[in-house]
Structure 1
Amino acid sequence: GLTQQVELKLFPPLMQQHSITLAQIIRAIKPAFEQVGGRTLELTNRDYNLRATVNTDNLDQLEQLIVARDKLLNPIRLKDLGYFQINYDLRRGIADLNGEGEVVGGIVIMEQSQNVLNVSQQLQQSLQQLKTRLPKDVEIITTYERSTLILQTLKNFSSALLYELLVVVLVIFWALRHGRASVAPVLIILLGCLYTLISLSFFGQTINLLSLAGLAIAMGEMADATIVIVENAKSELAKYPMANHSQRHEIIINSISRMMRPLLFSLLIILASFIPLFYLELREARLFDPLVYSKTFAMGFSTLLTLFLLPIIVLWIFNKSPTKKNSSKESILVHYYKRILRSTLRHRYLFLSSSVLLLIASVFLMNQFPKDYMPELEEGSILYMPTTLPGIPMREAGWILQKIDKKIKSFPEVERVFGKLGRADTSTDPAPVTMIETTILLKPKSQWREGINKKMLVDEMNASLKIMGFVNSWTQPIAGRIMMQDTGIQSPVGIKVRGGNIIEIEKVAQQIEILLREFDGTDSVIAERISQGYYVSVENHLDKMADKNVLLEEAMLTTRFGIGGDNIMQIPLRDNTTVALSMQYSPEYIDTLEKLQHTPVITATGKSVALAEIANVDVKKMPEMIRTDNSKFAAYIYINLSGVTALDYVSKAKLYLEDQLTLPMGYQLEWTGNYHYAQAAKTRLQWIIPITLLIMFALLMRVFKSVPLSFMILLSAPFALIGGVILQWFQGTAMTTAVLIGYIAVLAVAIQTGILMVEFIKEALHKQPLNQSYIDTIIEGSVLRLRPKLMTVATTVLGLIPILLATGSGMDITRPIAAPTVGGMISSTIYVLFLIPCLFMVMADVRNIKSN
């Protein structure tokens, strides 16, 4: 908005006539707003304080202020030299709403570590109280609020999570076909989720999108452990149908105790698999810590409940008589599984070779995926940030801003448009007049035109806002602010050009702009014109000033106040506020360059000298802004991308510039933007993941006390990732940190289920009858893992499908995490049910060769 200012306009001829200098006027005005005091006075037996002020409430009175006396000792008042007027201070920022005209904007800044929803709720209460006290023609309109996005993401994902829970419950009831038996896994899942949500607050975490995503990923694994226990107890009790009550207790406890060790170590391996996420950069850690904590707590609580609560529930379930072991459908399933597994074991080397080739192809395919830092969160709003070259007048810039906002508001999908040009009245906003920031709130998608999505909408807006001299940039409010806060730029990719000379830096930046303009993947590119600010340059010459008997102060005050109209001081008001007082020659004396050159410099001797006689007055291009980066001058290049990720673009563009551009000695380029975080995460994971694998191997050794078995599980687990790679390729998503977390989760599940399969096969081999062949024993042990594994896959895959298919705010982050889990669980079924039995047969072959 406009800030009130008191202006003193002076007439140079009158000042020259009375031989009054600018310094004299400044010295005369300042005491008018001062207060003086003295010692206390004692009058009529009372103690008094002394205070002297000037009544300056009325500008007409201030014009009576005597500046000096003429030769006849007559007073020379301010009104003899100029006049006062009320105006607005120099402005470098304009705000507009919906293209309807200027408004006053305010920003609420939340304290660190506060909860957005709580602060927002308190703010709304305060605003409601404030609105009752506003004048009738003044209203407060919220143009952007973060809590809207947070509530929308929680609503979307909570609905998907509840649907997943419902699917898991239905699958368990259908698979077990035993009402009381189905209660156990469902109760463990519900209690595990409840205890997890309660525990998050003790570690400074909140219930948010990522913490709920952790629960979604863990739900299938939580069900797996309980299903294994229930199925194992059920099968053991079926062997002793005539057992009494105490014998049943003993059978159940023995069946659970045999599974305790592998289940505990499975949990430790799942915890170890998430070790890399604890060593991510601070930015990634703040994002993914809720997911890591919630998944870890969920698995921990489910394991404790499985080991201590589940036995009590199982005793209640099978209190009377055990359920029959298999139904007819189960027999058919087992029959076909045995046939397929027997055939696979006979052709094990062909199966293993095919699996290895498929794994190699998957690794090759994974390397072809576009690489990025994070999938973009759909915020339901747009931040439009066009930039232009220096020199645009403020009034014209404001007119352009209003036209832009009006054009954007005309789109039927747009709810509200709030545009800001230049800087706000705060030191935290150094934006120049050449930068526009327009926040666009969108209507619910149900009110959009049929067949249009956000990308199409942005493309339409971009096409309709091709303004000469402006380069468009489209992002989202939160994403854009984080980018600017972390990297200093508002585009996904940027380049910092550093060196010792500003002119040379700008030349290099413009060369890069030309080179990248037609480079594949560049949507738009603009280099800062840091040396192209327009200046009226007054270069004083001391020798000429000496010839004309002009003091340096007299010349400099003429430029600063006479021409520039700088503020002299802040006038204190009765309401404890202040208003600026500026001083300047009357506009008709300084409205052209020629008049500026002839501006009189009035000296204390009473003479007047034209400014051009003691200085060079002309227009120059000089730096409008001086930017330093790592103690060197710097310029930024802003790059917006199209159809390519930041990481892939930078890797190719680096090589291109190295080939096409020759930097002067002492100058350097630094790429910045989102790609920087992906590169940092990749560097950290390169040494964290090997350490994590060693920890997993040590835990496997503790479980099996066998190097071959430990290596077998660890080296064969990556085969479970094949399905995730295929599904990711089908979806066309980039390889991001979120996708990597999905793969880590799948790998942990693969190792966990692999441990249980190995345990079942080992137990079958331990109890192998003398008349039973090795291959039949392997098949018998594998069959015991069939139903629990298929139930785990069904609960996980069917439960995550709603998240995979859901749309809306927040799902863009969770969908890439769910995709590898869904695809990986399908391929892990093949890995567990077929690959591990084949590897047991191969190990037997190796032992036979050695013995022979």
Structure 2
Amino acid sequence: MPDVGQVFDSGLENRELSVELDPKRLAALDLPLDAVRQAVAAAFVRVGAGKVQDAGHETLVMVVHEPATPDDIGGIVVRAQPGRPPLRIRDVGRVMERFPNDTEIVRFSGHDGVSLWITKRRQADVIRTIESVNQTVHDWLETAPPTVRFTSTYDASIETRTRLRILRDNAAAGFALVLLILFLFLDRRIAFWTALGIPFSIALTTVILPWTGITLNSISLCGLIIVLGMIVDDAIIVAESIYRRIESGTPLRQAVEDGLFAVIGPVTATILTTIIAFIPIWFIPGVEGKFAAEIPAIVMLMLASSLLEATTILPAHIAHAGPTADSRRPPGARWMDHLERIYRRALTVALRWRYALFAAVLAGFAALAIWGAEHVRFVMYPLDQAWEVWIYGKTADGTSLEDTAKAMAPLEHWIEQLPAGVVHSYKTVAGRDPDGWVQASNAFFAKLVLTPAQQRTTSATDVRERLLDAWKAATDTAITELSVHIESGGPPVGRPVEVRVISNDNAARNDALDWLRQRLDELGVTDIDSDAERSEPALRLQPDLARAAAAGITPAQIAATMRTAVDGTIAAWLNTPDERIPIRVRVDPERLDPRNPTRGLLLTSRFGHAVPLDSVSHSESVVEPRTIYHDNGDRTNRLRGNLDLEVTSPASMYPVIENLLAQMQERWPDVRGEIGGQARKSVEQLSRMKINLALTVVAIWVLLTVVFNSMFQPFMVILAIPFGVVGVLIVFSLSGDPLSLFALMGMLGMAGVVVNDSLIMVDLINRKEDDTEGVKVIIEGAVERLRPIVLTTATTVVGLFPTAYGLIGGADAFISPMVTSMMWGLLAGTTSVLLFIPLFYQVGLDVRRLWRRS
């Protein structure tokens, strides 16, 4: 299929031919195990001997011998002596066709099966790809055996379709609300031409997108929604500037020219500040940055398109058509007049008591900033709409793979008892440890794929609690350990708490692990597991070097013979047109003595005679670590655990764990610790986002110094940013929602949008200051800019509001926090602009006058 990238299988049992030998027969015939392996390897020959010439024609000479059936392989001669019948494989064992599954047992939704994990090509459409896969499966099932059925265990298009539907519907609602605001406060014709900027910008961006390699998906659509209310901001400022001059009696074409050129400079600056704010998202490292990289590209294309429309097409339309001939004012004009009167009176009082109010605002800002910073929680990817649940567990050490698989039956029953419509599918794997790549017969894991959060009332957290409660209440289960981990659905960031303990001193490292585990448990960390516990009973075979050397045997021979006896060795491959079948040689598992597996096994010495394996080695029962982990050459072990994200966050746990590691190193100087997982990533991302926000502020300040030809006034303009940031912290603290990584990205974007209103206001006050002195100029400039500030803020907020709170189809766990952060930051920043900028401007004038007098 052209859109499919790769296909991986899980649970597929590949066919092999197994030569299974009887150790007693081998011993009786004085036949070393390795001699059988060598005989099998020598029997499979496919060699090109070259070409011969015959009357000008070439003929290829091949030597081929490939026993194709178990009976053919059983006839391979392993020893031949003059005067005696040849000794064949069937004389010392049997050949069987097997489908080995001795490392893991995989089940799907409680049934045996095989899974195919299908990936798409990079530029392929996920929805179309899955539709074509489903059609292929449907066509195949028409001719498949009736006992075989197909079930989708994971479908990426479900999440994509759900998110696209939510964003599409809420975007439509936001667009309708933006139109309502425009027609409520502007002349009908001017509102219509202003609103035309939205479809124009979307259409132009859609035309350019294919050249950028960006597809229309849930992330790029998020960028479109973020900018939906903003793309009319520049058009509103231009239209309002023109409309104000028309209202004052200026001729139409003159009003268009004067209105456009009065604001084209600051309007262009507002577009640039917004673009600057989104650029740092491109530089977020790792998977997170790649995940959101399309958002700034969409925002930039949309804003550039809207600027083109607002400064060329919009003025041309207004100059051609003009306002509505009807003399009636827009429905919201009286509300705006009333708001302007209230605002004028409030500014008059505020500027009269400017120093007291200035100090009160700063004190209130500081208090709210401290309170918000203390009460907000940072969680990179909240679990509100998580749809993937991982279950890790163990049975008693030494439990066989088959018994571990049987012990999982109660777990499958507990999963089946979850409310209907919660679980889309689940997969259970016996024989793998929690990481999924280390074999362990007594370990298992299960993966649950839940239905979309909008279609169920049971959260992933509820699923975890139900499963853990069922396990704790069970009295007859063989499961000794069980933990449940929820994947948020974002890029992989590990467990909330992960700590590595590193030391080559095994005793000190294990003591430190036990001490640290107890401390973490006291701090409320749950489901703690350690890879140091992954050990298993072992039979250690120790070569007797002196005897082995005297007999002409090497330790490597002993190891190779034991591997062949127990696990088997691939001696040859049988190539057919359809498959490549391994030929494995081993001792028959039913005849191998588990307490003394060396019994009856012989080695071939370098002197050519057979030597009993147990004569050159001895065995002992021990407990061995299943896996030995190293970090830069040093022995290491890891502790992992979960947190109650309703109470605390991985970022807040980071300094606590750092303190614990410092105490640990005081107790055990040779042991050091490293923090990983979500705690480390959260702190790193917070630090990077703070740096990005600081760089954004500096870049905006540099741009504004050029616009205002001043170093002081840009500080006044960017004061809206900290007010917006504090507003975001307060809203997330009061709502109890965690501040996610995407909310921080929204805060970055907000920084570029929130300065636009203060930029427009300061620019107008500067123009008026040439004509008038004193408080009056500030009041008149602020009041004149009230309408465009209110309109641009209102259109942006109502454009974002449906997506922020999921008015249609529910909220989205990733996109909604970003939009919520932008919306509330803009509201808080705009409110501060309306009051604080005039105060700051007048205080600045006072200081400047005092400086001149002095």
89, 94, 104: which one aligns with 1:78: 89
1:206 touches 1:290 (CA, 8 Å); kept in 2? no
**1:735 equivalenced with 2:739 (yes/no):** yes
**1:375 equivalenced with 2:376 (yes/no):** no
CA distance in 2, matches of 1:96, 1:794: 54
CA distance in 1, matches of 2:244, 2:560: 98
1:606-637 per-position Cα deviation (integer Å, ceiling 9, x unaligned): 99876444322122222322333334333222
**1:533 equivalenced with 2:544 (yes/no):** no
1:665-686 per-position Cα deviation (integer Å, ceiling 9, x unaligned): 5543221113333333344445
Within 5 Å, give how 1:223-262 maps onto structure 2: 223-240=232-249, 247-262=251-266
The CA deviation at 1:460 is: 1.2
1:596 touches 1:617 (CA, 8 Å); kept in 2? no
Amino acid at match of 2:359: S
CA distance in 1, matches of 2:583, 2:129: 39
2:271 touches 2:303 (CA, 8 Å); kept in 1? yes
1:717 touches 1:831 (CA, 8 Å); kept in 2? no
Amino acid at match of 1:192: S
1:502 touches 1:530 (CA, 8 Å); kept in 2? no
The CA deviation at 1:72 is: 4.8
**1:417 equivalenced with 2:419 (yes/no):** no
1:278 touches 1:285 (CA, 8 Å); kept in 2? yes
269, 272, 277: which one aligns with 1:273: 277
Within 5 Å, give how 1:73-112 maps onto structure 2: 73-89=84-100, 91-99=102-110, 101-112=111-122
The CA deviation at 1:187 is: 0.6
* Cα distance change, pair 550–189 in 1 and its aligned pair in 2 (3 A): closer
634, 639, 642: which one aligns with 2:641: 639
Aligned residue in 1 for 2:27: 16
**1:790 equivalenced with 2:766 (yes/no):** no
Aligned residue in 1 for 2:585: 583
312, 321, 335: which one aligns with 2:341: 335
The CA deviation at 1:164 is: 0.6
Deviation larger for 370-379 or 709-718: 370-379
Aligned residue in 2 for 1:441: 449
CA distance in 2, matches of 1:744, 1:344: 31
CA distance in 2, matches of 1:310, 1:673: 52
1:61-96 per-position Cα deviation (integer Å, ceiling 9, x unaligned): 443333224685333333332222333335212211
Aligned residue in 2 for 1:843: 844
1:532 touches 1:624 (CA, 8 Å); kept in 2? yes
The CA deviation at 1:264 is: 1.3
Aligned residue in 2 for 1:363: 369
CA distance in 2, matches of 1:37, 1:834: 91
Aligned residue in 1 for 2:205: 196
1:475-529 per-position Cα deviation (integer Å, ceiling 9, x unaligned): 23854xx42xxx7xx5233122333356654554344323322223x12211103
2:214 touches 2:294 (CA, 8 Å); kept in 1? yes
* Cα distance change, pair 31–650 in 1 and its aligned pair in 2 (3 A): same
Aligned residue in 1 for 2:829: 828
Within 5 Å, give how 1:116-131 maps onto structure 2: 116-131=126-141
Report the secondary structure of 1:473's partner residue.
Answer: strand
The CA deviation at 1:550 is: 6.3
The CA deviation at 1:661 is: 5.1
The CA deviation at 1:573 is: 4.5
438, 457, 462: which one aligns with 2:463: 457
2:376 touches 2:733 (CA, 8 Å); kept in 1? no
CA distance in 1, matches of 2:657, 2:204: 49
Report the secondary structure of 1:174's partner residue.
Answer: helix
Aligned residue in 1 for 2:812: 811
The CA deviation at 1:186 is: 0.8
Amino acid at match of 2:138: Q
* Cα distance change, pair 139–85 in 1 and its aligned pair in 2 (3 A): same
1:234 touches 1:323 (CA, 8 Å); kept in 2? no
1:552-580 per-position Cα deviation (integer Å, ceiling 9, x unaligned): 67745542333x14124244143342333
* Cα distance change, pair 727–631 in 1 and its aligned pair in 2 (3 A): same
Deviation larger for 327-336 or 223-232: 327-336
2:661 touches 2:672 (CA, 8 Å); kept in 1? no
* Cα distance change, pair 610–213 in 1 and its aligned pair in 2 (3 A): same
144, 147, 163: which one aligns with 1:137: 147
CA distance in 1, matches of 2:308, 2:269: 13
Amino acid at match of 2:79: A
Aligned residue in 1 for 2:700: 696
1:102-129 per-position Cα deviation (integer Å, ceiling 9, x unaligned): 2112222344565433443443343334
Report the secondary structure of 2:196's partner residue.
Answer: helix
User: Number of paired residues?
Assistant: 827
**1:25 equivalenced with 2:36 (yes/no):** yes
Within 5 Å, give how 1:616-627 maps onto structure 2: 616-627=618-629
Aligned residue in 2 for 1:596: 597
**1:155 equivalenced with 2:165 (yes/no):** yes
* Cα distance change, pair 198–574 in 1 and its aligned pair in 2 (3 A): same
1:525-561 per-position Cα deviation (integer Å, ceiling 9, x unaligned): 1110367233221111022346677676774554233
TM-score (norm 1): 0.88
* Cα distance change, pair 823–57 in 1 and its aligned pair in 2 (3 A): closer
1:378 touches 1:809 (CA, 8 Å); kept in 2? no
* Cα distance change, pair 130–638 in 1 and its aligned pair in 2 (3 A): same
Deviation larger for 456-465 or 326-335: 326-335
1:590 touches 1:599 (CA, 8 Å); kept in 2? no
Report the secondary structure of 2:229's partner residue.
Answer: helix
Report the secondary structure of 2:119's partner residue.
Answer: coil
Report the secondary structure of 2:619's partner residue.
Answer: strand
Report the secondary structure of 1:734's partner residue.
Answer: coil
Report the secondary structure of 2:78's partner residue.
Answer: strand
Identity %: 18
1:545 touches 1:614 (CA, 8 Å); kept in 2? yes
716, 731, 754: which one aligns with 2:758: 754
Report the secondary structure of 1:138's partner residue.
Answer: coil
Within 5 Å, give how 1:396-407 maps onto structure 2: 396-407=403-414
2:67 touches 2:73 (CA, 8 Å); kept in 1? yes
Within 5 Å, give how 1:437-516 maps onto structure 2: 437-443=445-451, 448=456, 452-466=458-472, 468-476=479-487, 478-479=489-490, 482-483=491-492, 490-500=494-504, 505-516=509-520
* Cα distance change, pair 828–36 in 1 and its aligned pair in 2 (3 A): closer
* Cα distance change, pair 283–568 in 1 and its aligned pair in 2 (3 A): closer
**1:352 equivalenced with 2:353 (yes/no):** no
Aligned residue in 2 for 1:652: 656
Report the secondary structure of 1:739's partner residue.
Answer: helix
1:370 touches 1:648 (CA, 8 Å); kept in 2? no
1:737-788 per-position Cα deviation (integer Å, ceiling 9, x unaligned): 32223333333233211111123333343344xxxx8333332222211222
1:153 touches 1:810 (CA, 8 Å); kept in 2? no
2:468 touches 2:482 (CA, 8 Å); kept in 1? no
* Cα distance change, pair 268–739 in 1 and its aligned pair in 2 (3 A): same
Amino acid at match of 2:850: I
CA distance in 2, matches of 1:456, 1:845: 60
Q: CA RMSD in A?
A: 3.4
The CA deviation at 1:393 is: 1.8
Amino acid at match of 1:528: D
CA distance in 2, matches of 1:125, 1:37: 45
Q: Structure 2: which 5+ runs fail to align?
A: 1-11
Aligned residue in 1 for 2:192: 183
TM-score (norm 2): 0.88
* Cα distance change, pair 368–73 in 1 and its aligned pair in 2 (3 A): same
Amino acid at match of 2:351: L
CA distance in 1, matches of 2:501, 2:15: 40
The CA deviation at 1:813 is: 1.5
Aligned residue in 1 for 2:305: 301
* Cα distance change, pair 399–588 in 1 and its aligned pair in 2 (3 A): closer
CA distance in 2, matches of 1:627, 1:706: 60
Within 5 Å, give how 1:503-582 maps onto structure 2: 505-520=509-524, 522-529=525-532, 532-545=535-548, 555-556=558-559, 558-562=561-565, 564-582=566-584
